Chain A
Amino acid sequence: MQGASVTIEDLACRRGDRLLFRGLSQRLGPGEALHVTGSNGIGKSSLLRIVAGLAPAFAGTVQTGGAIGLIDERHALDHALPLGRALAFWRVLDRAEDSAVERLGLAPLLDVPVRYLSTGQKKRAALARLIGENAAIWLLDEPLNGLDSDAAALTEALVAEHCAGGGIALIASHQPFTLARKRTLALGEFAA
């Protein structure tokens, strides 16, 4: 994860006819975390999708160094499959060794079809996929939604470990996110 970087320069984002934010510049190096805050609809998710390269920037540039892992409200696990097999598909794609299934408390759920899992359980499964992906840059869209307090604390600990290992985390959340060394970006200040 050496040399991970995210450089955002003079970024503007448009959804439909509305300009959501503009003039956003940020630079993140190894081990740094950025907590993007702001009210609903201000463009937090859009910012993450632009950084991920999944949505076009209206103006400005984003440069990333390192593989990108994304967690958003869509967990990308096949509904019909048992959780173990749904995760195994991604583990094979990512050639993952450790996916922290035990640590995330997913071991008893591996035989349960994904469609029977709760929101929080699916979120934890998505975290397991993210850890297996071994990406340098984590983009987390509302990572604490639906998690109980234990799982939320575990998520915060996992992000802290990721950053301690030289990774970058971009967290978009309107909820407080406890992390020792993080910067906070209030996206509202850049609203157009």
Chain B
Amino acid sequence: MSGRLLPLLKRDMARLLLGGRGGGAVMPVLFFLTVAMLYPFAVGPDARLLARTGGGVIWIAALLAAILPLDRLVEPDIEGGQFDQWALRGMSEEIVIAVRVLAHWLSFGPPLMLAALPAAALLGIDEPTLRTVELGLLAGTPGLAALGVTVAALTAGLRGGAALGGLLVIPLAVPVLIFGAGSLGSGGDSGLALAAAASLVLLAIAPFAGGAAVRSARS
């Protein structure tokens, strides 16, 4: 079994990172940077205001960037028959979805954490805040990845599934956002811990909810 997970992860990573027509991991990162770049234009060049609110903007941008690849996460493999072939080889939907969550996180989490460095410079965020932002992203983005894959599985095959998926992800991501961005205000570790806890809950649910959704999409 484990001998099959690595090839699967490699294939998922290649699809999500390089991504063909969808633009792969480059698009969410560019989108993220664009939001960070637009924000000073919108609120004006007040450096103190930017520094105070910049961390929150990075979180919003990260959340929106995580939504971009939703329609490529699960649906093509249901349409293409890959899930059927995996099931015939004894690879359960839960395992495949768990691997997909990992691949999705690897393709957008670390790139966003890297992109947060230039974004922080654009917004004039100081170093301690940047550190909290990075740690918050590390704690929160796995949850966003799990949520994205779950919702992508639930909305696969529905008309307008991608748009509906985006609408579903945003409210469900609120706990991660509150604790992740909240850790900036308090500057405390408790916010980070709670963001990580919310993340873990989403990670624990994703394989089962996503797997059940893929199975029910068959009939």
CB pair A55–B219 under 8 Å, yes or no, is yes
CB pair B4–A54 under 8 Å, yes or no, is no
Residues of A contacting B218 in the complex (Cβ-Cβ under 8 angstroms): 54-55
A25-33, A69-77, A144-152, A168-176 - interface stretch: A69-77
Residues of chain A in range 88-137 having any CB-CB distance to chain B below 8 Å:
89-90, 92-95, 129, 133, 135
* Chain B interface bracket (under 10, 10 to 19, 20 to 34, 35 or more): 20 to 34
CB pair B11–A89 under 8 Å, yes or no, is yes
Residues of A contacting B88 in the complex (Cβ-Cβ under 8 angstroms): 52-54, 67-70, 135
Give A57-89 as 1s and 0s: 1 = Cβ < 8 Å from B's Cβ atoms. 000000000011110101111111000000001
Give B180-219 as 1s and 0s: 1 = Cβ < 8 Å from A's Cβ atoms. 0000000000000000000000000000000000000011
Judge if B84 is at the interface, Cβ distance under 8 Å: yes
* C-alpha spacing A129/B89, complex, angstroms: 12
Q: A56: which of B15, B82, B85, B219 is its contact (CB, 8 Å)?
A: B219
* C-alpha spacing A53/B82, complex, angstroms: 15
For the complex formed, measure the closest distance between the CB of B126 and the CB atoms of chain A, giving whole angstroms.
43
Q: A75: which of B76, B81, B89 is its contact (CB, 8 Å)?
A: B81
Residues of B contacting A69 in the complex (Cβ-Cβ under 8 angstroms): 88
Residues of A contacting B121 in the complex (Cβ-Cβ under 8 angstroms): none
Total interface residues on A, CB under 8 Å, equals 26
Residues of A contacting B8 in the complex (Cβ-Cβ under 8 angstroms): 93
17 pairs, A vs B, C-beta closer than 8 Å: A52-B88, A54-B88, A56-B219, A67-B88, A72-B81, A72-B84, A74-B79, A74-B80, A75-B81, A76-B84, A76-B85, A78-B11, A79-B76, A80-B20, A92-B7, A93-B4, A133-B89
Please report B residues at the A interface, Cβ cutoff 8 Å.
3-4, 7-8, 11, 15, 20-21, 76, 79-82, 84-85, 87-89, 218-219
